[in-house]
Amino acid sequence: MVGYRRMSREELAARVEKAVEMLRDCRVCAQVCRVNRLGGEKGFCRTGRLAVVSSWGPHFGEEKVLVGRYGSGTIFFANCNLACRFCQNYEISQCGEGRELTARELALAMLELQEMGCHNINLVSPSHCVPQILEALYLAVQEGLSVPLVYNTGGYDALPVLRLLEGIVDIYMPDIKFGDDEVGERYTGAKKYFTVAKQAVKEMHRQVGDLEVDERGIAVRGLLVRHLVMPGDLARTAAVMEFLAREVSPATFVNIMAQYYPAHEAFRYPELSRRITAQEYREAREIARRCGLYRLYP
């Protein structure tokens, strides 16, 4: 049984209340803008009281452990709490393409994905919308939602908010984009990106442990980390892999991704303006293996 179904209705309601209250002086993510989103103010993520959703539907392009036979039920939240210069979805993440959904509408989207047979509800870029997600979840649970939640984040999450998700989120899927704070800030706009992501990933692993799959090979619980290899080792892959192997677990399921291409504002940065080579990708995997990580994907 998924975590949120084991939780009492009173406890879930208390988590919703605490999360919504955080919007008043917003510290819902690690940007800590301290704007009053309940009063209509907007901070770095340009999102007010309601979540903006660009689309939802079964998705077959995610990791096999999430997709299974009927797909991962993705919900794409617009307006990211990072501003990656090379973002491949910048119309959604930076331009806010989508529409505001009430808690009831978001709950119905979750239920629709479950009815379509999706193996999970995959919350894409959820960090700035945790209160709205919890409000919707509270309603959806009463209507029978029972598939695992996947928290599919850029990794810039606030610890107090992650603690509110303990026992609710079964599968955490953070990126660790950069293994260096300075480089991370240059390309994401987020201060101390690596430091924050490390704390967040450790907290996620403390809550759910290494990735577990069922008899069909579909993820039921645990941590799945994504790392995008960047040209010229801009992502500082060795630091990321060392951290995972030593401070999280050598059994961490890591997707080492090769699909970087220059998008959005990447053309302004000569070092971001090419794809990676096959050799760079091989080296990144080799580094991960040398660090002792043995659950590499693909």
Q: Structure tokens of 3?
A: 């975590």
> In this chain, which stretch among 39-47, 142-150, 165-173, 250-258 interacts with ligand SF4, using CB under 6 A?
39-47
Residue 219 near residue 72 (C-beta atoms within 8 A): no
CA distances from 8 to 5, 52, 135, 147 (A): 8, 28, 15, 17
Binding to ligand SF4 (CB under 6 A) within 121-180 occurs at 128
Q: Which is nearer to ligand SF4, 185 or 210 (CB)?
A: 185
| Residue of 7, 12, 19, 35 that binds ligand SF4 (CB under 6 A) | 35
Q: How far apart are CA 295 and CA 223, in angstroms?
A: 12
With contacts defined by CB under 6 A, how many residues of the chain interact with ligand SF4?
A: 14
* CA 124 – CA 172 distance, rounded (Å): 11
Q: Under the criterion CB under 6 A, does residue 28 sit at the interface with ligand SF4? A: yes
Q: Which residue shows structure tokens 């103010």?
A: 41
Binding ligand SF4 by CB under 6 A: which of 18, 24, 27, 192? 27
Q: Which of 81, 125, 237, 252 binds ligand SF4 (CB under 6 A)?
A: 81
Point out which span in 37-45, 165-173, 213-221, 242-250 binds ligand SF4 (CB under 6 A).
Answer: 37-45
Residues in the chain: 298
Stretch that binds ligand SF4, among 40-48, 132-140, 184-192, 255-263 (CB under 6 A): 40-48
Q: Is 33 in the site for ligand SF4 (CB under 6 A)?
A: yes
Contacting residue, 3, 16, 19, 43, with ligand SF4 by CB under 6 A: 43
Q: Is 26 in the site for ligand SF4 (CB under 6 A)?
A: yes
CA geometry: angle at 210 spanning 207 and 213, to 5°? 110
Other residues' Cβ atoms within 10 Å of the Cβ of residue 159: 13
What CA–CA distance (Å, rounded) separates 194 from 288?
17
Could you identify the residue written with the tokens 């617009």? 78
**What is the rounded distance in angstroms from the CA atom of residue 76 to the CA atom of residue 145?**
19
Q: Are 32 and 165 in contact (CB under 8 A)?
A: no
Q: Which single residue brings its beta carbon nearest to ligand SF4?
A: 43
Kindly tell me which residue out of 19, 20, 31, 172 binds ligand SF4, with binding defined by CB under 6 A: 31
Nearest distance in Å: CB 26, ligand SF4: 3
Q: Rank residues 26 and 169 by Cβ distance to ligand SF4 and give the closer one.
A: 26
For residue 164, what is the enclosing H or E element?
A: helix 159-164
Q: Which of residues 137 and 287 has its CB atom nearest to ligand SF4 in the complex?
A: 137
**CB 190, min distance to ligand SF4, A:** 9
> For residue 174, what is the enclosing H or E element?
strand 171-174
**From 41-49, 55-63, 87-95, 142-150, span contacting ligand SF4 (CB under 6 A):** 41-49
| Strand 219-228 to 212-213 pairing | antiparallel
Choosing from 16, 20, 29, 183, the residue that interacts with ligand SF4 (CB under 6 A) is 29
Binding site for ligand SF4 (CB under 6 A): 26-29, 31-33, 35, 43-45, 47, 81, 128
